[in-house]
Amino acid sequence: MPKRSPLLDSDSRSPYSPQPRLISAGELRFYHTVLEPGFGNRFYIGVQVPMTAVLRVDEDQWDRAAGRKIRQKRFDFVLAYPKTFRIAAVIELDDLTHRSPSRRRRDRFVEEALLQAGVLLVRIPVYRKYDAKRIRAMIQRRLREHRTRKNTA
């Protein structure tokens, strides 16, 4: 029997158990098919990265709408340069949940926040099978375009 913790309610079993994995089956398929083989040697690939690790909010805005909107949210994947860990891109997989009105509002907010912060967002529809070569080429093109825009701005 597990030892009881003084921090938890002693009259009941622990409410905690491990998640089966960090990412969904669809995200895992995308990671192994597209991201890791195509970008794993050039980028650190973060999974389920908190928005607060990517977007910074002024201290006085943390308890206001700006901070509350990003506090509990995560990005599916983040590509970062391995030597500096500077963010190269955020990758979001769009499954059927992205069709709901509330999710569309969240997606518009995320797009605008990342745009204002100068962070590249790449949205990719979820598929059962990915054309990895085509998707990698599209991500590489978007990374090049983003770097070019940043360098000419």
Residue 57 backbone class (left: φ over 0; alpha: ψ -120 to 50; beta: rest): beta
For residue 55, count other CB atoms closer than 10 A to its CB.
21
Geometric angle at alpha carbon 138, from 135 and 142, rounded to 5°: 140
| pLDDT score of 140 | 97
CA distance 27 to 47: 9
d(CA 144, CA 1): 56
In a domain, 6, yes or no: no
pLDDT at 9: 59
Within-domain flag for 18:
no
Ranges of the chain with pLDDT below 70: 1-11, 65, 96, 98, 153
Q: Give residue 88's domain range.
A: 25-152
Residue 114 lies in a domain: yes
* pLDDT tens digits, 24-62: 999 999 999 999 999 999 999 999 999 999 998 887 777
- Say which CATH number the domain at 103 has: 3.40.1350
State residue 102's pLDDT score. 77
17 within domain boundaries = no
> What pLDDT sits at residue 103?
79
- The helix/strand/coil state of 153 is coil
In a domain, 32, yes or no: yes
Of 141, 92, 90, 140, which Cα lies nearest the Cα of 114? 90
**Residue 67 in domain:** yes
